[in-house]
Chain A
Amino acid sequence: MQSEGGAAGAVHGALQAGALATTFTSSQGLLLMLPNMFKIAGELTPTVFHVAARAIATHALSIFGDHSDVMAARPPGFALLCSSSVQEAQDLALIAHAATLESRVPFLHFFDGFRTSHELNTIERLTEDDVRGFLDEDLVAAHRARALTPDRPVLRGSAQNPDVFFQAREAANPYYAAVPSIVQRTMARFATLTGRRYRLFDYVGHPQAERVLVLMGSGAGAATEAVESLVKRGERVGLVIVRLFRPFSAAAFAATLPATVQAVVVLDRTKDPAAQAEPLFQEVITAFAESDDPMPLVTGGRYGLASKEFTPAMAKAALDSLDADVPRRRFTVGIVDDVTHLSLPVDRSFTAEPEDVVRAVFYGLGSDGTVGANRNSVKIIGESTGLHAQAHFVYDSKKSGSVTVSHLRFGPNPIHSTYLIDRASFVACHQFGLLERLEVLAVADEGATVLLNSPHGPDDTWDELPAEVQEQLIAKQLRLFVVDATAVAREAGLGRRVNTVLQTCFFALADVLPREEAIAAIKDAIRRTYGKRGEVMLERNFAAVDRALDGLHEVEIPVAVSSKLRRLPPVPVDAPDFVRHVTGAMIEGKGDLLPVSALPVDGTFPTGTAHFEKRSIAIEIPIWDHSICIDCAKCALVCPHAAIRLKVFAPEELEGAPEGFLSKEWKARDLPGMQMTVQVAPDDCTGCGICVETCPAHAKEAVGHRSINLEPKSEHLDRERERYDFFLSIPELDRALVEPATVKGSQLLQPLFEYSGACEGCGETPYLKLLTQLYGDRLLVANATGCSSIYGGNLPTTPWSQDANGRGPAWANSLFEDNAEFGLGMRLALDQQEASARALLPTVAPDLADEILTADQTTEAGIAAQRERVAVLRERLLDTDDNAEARRLLAIVDALVRKSVWLVGGDGWAYDIGFGGLDHVLASGRNVNVLVLDTEVYSNTGGQASKATPRGAVAKFASAGKRTRKKDLGQIAAQYGDVYVAQVAMGADNPQTVKALAEADAYDGPSLVLAYSHCIAHGIEIAKGMQQQKLAVDTGYWPLYRYDPRHTHAGEHPMRLDSRKPKLPLTAFTEREARFAMLKRSKPEEAARFEAQSQQDVDERWLVYEQLAQVEHEVEHEHTKQEETT
């Protein structure tokens, strides 16, 4: 569907037609379902919506878990049933389905996003027969009997007048009243079936508890451990775990509590900033208030927003807070609030974790496969040892070079520890380089075993460790084992994937299974994971497993620290205060420790921070050979990370250059006598190789040697760092000297989008970077949620940056679905401000008015001149601030300088979820520019099909190949007649791309630029992304064109085809992409059919476009003739 709103509509329809329909969603998706949820509940329609409860975007987006979404979904009238563990998520799902059929009240079944939805744990599984047997066939039949059918026609969804609406609304009351007892009966039936017993409210703790904690969701795991531990220590405490939150049964709640209770603390995993208290608290206090029993003390706190850790120590802090002389009525726990001082102190030394649990933490990279291997390890332990096992994974927010931390527990009893490990008996570091960036050993418990992937061998590793690591090894009496997993993996043909080598070492050291058995189980798991892909990868992995232990050695730990190496500071010491104290802490993984006062109150952050975060993730970096460079600037244009820079400067700027700093004569005629340098940013480059593959300059003597070549970073790092620092100190060229609408010209301008955390070789970011070069200093960006909002705006840093004057793109992300409207709003505000300013100017500053109001701002020089005029005006206004009109003008005076508003997003936004709004905005006639970064799938969430997905490509939700052709968004927009439309592909024709972006900006009306963006979800060799773009154009898969409404006059043709008639068959493009090739192997006949149809699509589209390019849009009327002659 176009969005979750549509999905809910489809579910609603299916239910009305008698299907047993369900859906799964989260966060903003749930909000989009609300209107249909009101309908479904209002019509007493049984269904279950399963929700991985996640935060709602407020001051920021967060993909992590809390109850904000579910709490926003209270009003429609769904019953809310909460699971607090992986086992419960299965069990209560079935209970919800059975209960909704009986009660006719729809259910929202939820569990905590990430903490529960992404946790691996040992569970007892229900069989299909269990499920079938549990659902009452008569109730199913009753549901079907209520369905719409012309054989028994009814009307549902009438419009009602004031006379009956109210009464009709009340008619459903008995059904809601019956829900609690139906759920309790269903739970009892479930206990008979499985032996697992649930109640509306479950109680844990002392039978005569005096203090009781109430909460729901995954926090129950940590709270249970805390309460059980405190009870063992003799404390009279208890815990109520809420399962059926709504309808809230006050009677069942009261019956759950021991009669001895004197004080109750309610914890909510959500924030309702304008309410007296959060929702669970409100239900609880209402229950107490209306009870005949004496009212205990009831307090309420917030915890765990956006997956903030919630530990037994925090549960204890909440219970302890009831013991205070004056207990806090409202509080938070888990953070330090130094502004409103609401946070409770937490005794972090308190632990309640069972002692018989083995805890292991693994630091790795996304690309080395650590997470995948650990997922297998948990399954192996769970299945082969009889032990219970749990795994939870933490990812950073980068899409390239991302760090992963895996938390594994195993022990003889079920594991309920729903929080990260902070005392590990086993710590593995799968990448030696992480030791200098992160406090890897902070989680190591006394005497823990440490496994390190080290290239240095058992004898030399010690000397290569940072002093902080040596200190921890000695102080905590850790045992250190090393293996050169990188070498073993490389020799086995596994590249950088060290996971199976280290997994084998883990099993050998953890001693959880006899060695032979462990190795057999690892191989079996490898077979299950990769088996379908063929024997080759299995054999390579098996070889790595077999060789792993040969290289595993223990390192003797000396008695004293000897290293001169220190861990690197997260940001340079001379960075601005905010960056050092706030951004730096986040980079270092210590963001949890930041107090409330450290953070902005409204989600506003400084731009230009990515350059402080030196991730240095490349293994190889491009090195410039200036002797054969042809000044084409393509390397800088295509670099997705702005890590290849080009500067043109006067020769005298070279004074003070480090020895060997490379430059050459700039050969363009417009800037004579200048030097140029192409320089890599060695710590910011990701080593993707896009620049190298694009470089057209070959050495005469060796064709393989280009003007830019990938070489090992270790050999060049120090020298290139020094060169890059000097390069940055060379002043930027005056923008007025440059013709921006050309490839070379654009690349002489400073990029104001740099070093993003996008995937290596990202196909989207080069377009954004180009936008900022063309008009970044006057750019407002409305960014739809998606990849670009993540690599553009996910903390700790942002790639959107500023020039030396402090100007740069102003960026905001509102939502996914509203981005076009959001950007339109920006345009309307600017237009209104400009209109007001223009109206005020003649009265306030008559002498300046004429020049400012008639200024030509179509060129860089024109804009620079206008900025100067406005600066003079501003000075004047500052001096006359006793004049009310002058003060009004001062506030909006910047609107007199032209601004460019760009609405940026992916195809998921533009083709699907945001299409309705986009269509409206395009029809508005306003001067907004839309850039669609078209990867043809929802890339950010893992490659789901969108309406931009081409026929025959496999994608999630289209694994048998998408059956329909791609939507032609460009032609839909062109039909309006006054929308500038361009379809571009930088890798195929970069001058056309630059020209289109410049024309779109210059066009005084709506513009739509569809930019083909290669993506890892295409399954391509990423370094060849730009070459794939060229093939897309050469095969006619992605024709290049510009539709310019300024050329609709008689005799002109607004549609201009910029690419040539396809000269290659479509397969020349598709056979190089796994998204097409996979289907060819998996379902060859289907694939062949799609292939033929897709070729036909291409041929027909070309035929139509060719004709469109001949179409004239204006009839020659008498008056137009006259205009031409006069």
Chain B
Amino acid sequence: MTVDLTSRYLGLQLASPIVASASPLTGEIDSLRALEEAGAAAVVLPSLFEEQLEHDQVELHSALEYGAHSFAEALTYLPEMDDYNTGPDAYLEHLAAAKEALSIPVIASLNGVTPGGWTRYAELLQQAGADAIELNVYAVETDPYTSAAGVEERTLRLVSSICSSVTVPVAVKVGPFYTSFANFAVRLADARADGLVLFNRFLQPDIDLETLTVVPRLHLSSNDELRLPLRWLAILHGRANISLAATSGVQTTEDVVKLLLCGADVVMVASQLLRAGPGLIRELTDGLGEWLGEREYASVEQLKGSMSQLACGNPRAFERAQYVRALVGFSPRDVAGQAERARVPDDSPA
């Protein structure tokens, strides 16, 4: 019996729940093709960053204006170009080319700054052919006078205004740092978001000790990071009328299965794809099929959410109990090779 791997995400019927998430691989047409060939059910393009566009335009403008019209013999210092391409054109062209090259759904990703920018660019993405738009809500709130409620309100207003300005489905990719995430997720659904992507991994800055400067540093995720989305998928599944996507740390078929069990509609892969190459998609898809087949599941739909909080026998396990177990269950053996450094005291709960 063949297992039905199809899954519905954002109202899109996908051939499987394995989606290539935003990464350099989705930034090039050749690698996008390779991802499709390897069986990716959909692709998410890298984000269009409004801040980057704004920064580029301001920088370009100041370079062109610096010293201009100040000196009789040199009214300007740089040549005038036919087109500076500072706007979203390059991104939109990539999106259109991806649509042209692929038959699987192409999800565009957007990181805005201003309310006007979010909606304007969302509309442009839709016009350029995006099958869906993922809003990359990435902002580090540093103003001590902005309250948590204020941040949530602002995000909800934003989502609501974008959802009313475009007709394609909209997913929201958020970070995990909300005090009452379940409540926020439900309100996002009320704001007409079609999907939630769990979670955004914020790029954390690092320090260069040589130069005493702050430097951006990217590290690829590993499946240690899986457990955060795992829990929240389980909690949210069935509680909010919204598609759920899991991202962060998906490496193996087992990871995929776990996330689906907890309620993910799709599982997104990026870091491991960068390590292993597009062929990983095939491995995961085949692996999922085999896992389901061996256990006589008929379809992904059957599996989806079967261990969510609503469905599992011990709902509390996803709450505090899980935390208790982790501590109680901890022993040096669980972290092979780290035992020395961990120096667990003899009177530990174990």
Contacts and interface: CB of A to CB of B under 8 A. Distances in A.
A965 interface: no
Contact of A533 (B67, B71, B84): B84
Interface in A524-554: 530, 532-537, 539
Interface stretch (B56-64, B311-319, B335-343): B56-64
Interface in B31-78: 53-54, 56-78
B141 interface: no
B85 A1082 contact: yes
B279 interface: no
Instruction: Give me the 7 closest cross-chain CB pairs, A-B, nearest first.
Output: A366-B70, A942-B74, A1019-B63, A534-B57, A534-B86, A1074-B63, A959-B79
Contact of B69 (A372, A539, A941, A1016): A372
B66 A1078 contact: no
A397 B71 CA distance: 7
Nearest to B62: A495
Contacts of A372: 65, 68-69
A372 B67 CA distance: 12
A533 B57 contact: yes
A1084 interface: yes
Among A530, A533, A1016, the most chain B Cβ lie within 10 Å of the Cβ of A533
A395 interface: yes
A804 interface: no
Among B59, B70, B84, the most chain A Cβ lie within 10 Å of the Cβ of B70
Interface string B67-111: 111111111111111111111001000000000000000000000
B73 A940 contact: yes
B81 A497 contact: no
Interface string A1013-1029: 00111011010000000
* Range class of the B interface residue count: 35 or more
B1 interface: no
B72 A1078 contact: no
Contacts of A1022: 66
A395 B83 CA distance: 30
Contacts of B79: 943, 954-956, 958-959
A8 B70 CA distance: 30
Interface in B112-138: 116
27 contacts: A63-B72, A114-B72, A366-B68, A366-B71, A370-B69, A371-B70, A372-B65, A404-B70, A532-B84, A533-B84, A534-B53, A534-B57, A536-B57, A537-B58, A703-B212, A941-B74, A942-B73, A942-B76, A943-B74, A943-B77, A1015-B77, A1074-B59, A1074-B78, A1078-B81, A1081-B56, A1081-B90, A1082-B82
Nearest to A307: B72
Contacts of A959: 79-81
B81 A536 contact: no
A698 interface: yes
Contacts of B86: 533-534, 1081
B239 to A, nearest CB: 40
Interface in A153-178: none
B58 A940 contact: no
B80 to A, nearest CB: 7
B75 A942 contact: yes
Interface in A351-410: 365-367, 369-372, 375, 393, 395, 397-399, 402, 404
Interface string A893-921: 00000000000000000000000000000
A309 to B, nearest CB: 15
A993 B16 CA distance: 64
A1118 B199 CA distance: 80
Interface in A995-1027: 1015-1017, 1019-1020, 1022
Contact of B73 (A398, A532, A941): A941
B60 A1078 contact: yes
A759 interface: yes
Interface string A605-640: 000000000000000000000000000000000000
Nearest to A703: B212
Contacts of B69: 366, 369-372, 375, 393, 404
A1079 to B, nearest CB: 8
Contacts of A759: 67
B61 A533 contact: yes
Nearest to B86: A534
B65 A369 contact: yes
Given A536-B57, A1019-B63, A954 B70 contact: no
Interface of A: 63-64, 114, 118, 365-367, 369-372, 375, 393, 395, 397-399, 402, 404, 493, 495, 497, 530, 532-537, 539, 698, 703, 759, 790, 939-943, 954-956, 958-959, 1015-1017, 1019-1020, 1022, 1074-1075, 1078, 1081-1082, 1084
Contacts of A63: 72-73
A536 B114 CA distance: 11
Contacts of B70: 365-367, 371, 395, 399, 402, 404
A466 B75 CA distance: 32
A1024 B106 CA distance: 41
Interface of B: 53-54, 56-87, 90, 116, 212
Contacts of B68: 366, 372
Contacts of A1016: 66-67, 77
Contacts of B77: 939, 942-943, 1015-1017, 1019
Given A366-B71, A397-B71, A940-B74, 10 more contacts: A63-B73, A64-B72, A533-B61, A534-B84, A536-B61, A941-B74, A954-B79, A1074-B64, A1078-B60, A1082-B81
A525 to B, nearest CB: 15
A1069 to B, nearest CB: 16
Given A1078-B81, A1082-B82, A534 B87 contact: yes
Contacts of A1075: 78
Contacts of B72: 63-64, 114, 118, 395, 397
A1015 B61 CA distance: 17
Given A366-B71, A404-B69, A942-B73, A535 B61 contact: no
A536 B67 contact: no
A1075 B63 CA distance: 9
Given A402-B71, A941-B73, A1019-B63, A1081 B57 contact: no
A535 B58 CA distance: 10
A366 B84 contact: no
A1081 B84 contact: yes
A530 B116 CA distance: 20
Contacts of B74: 939-943
Nearest to B80: A959
A367 B69 CA distance: 8
A370 B65 CA distance: 12
B81 to A, nearest CB: 4
B78 A534 contact: no
Contact of B64 (A393, A404, A533, A1081): A533
Among B57, B58, B74, the most chain A Cβ lie within 10 Å of the Cβ of B74
Contacts of B62: 495
Contact of B71 (A375, A399, A493, A954): A399
A25 B116 CA distance: 49
Contacts of A530: 61
Contacts of A1074: 59-60, 63-64, 78
Contact of A536 (B54, B73, B85, B212): B54
A365 B76 CA distance: 15
A968 to B, nearest CB: 25
Among B71, B82, B87, B90, the most chain A Cβ lie within 10 Å of the Cβ of B71
Contacts of A402: 70-71
Nearest to B120: A535
Nearest to A114: B72
A579 to B, nearest CB: 24
A63 B60 CA distance: 30
A1084 B90 contact: yes
A148 B35 CA distance: 61
A372 B63 CA distance: 15
Among A114, A375, A955, A1082, the most chain B Cβ lie within 10 Å of the Cβ of A1082
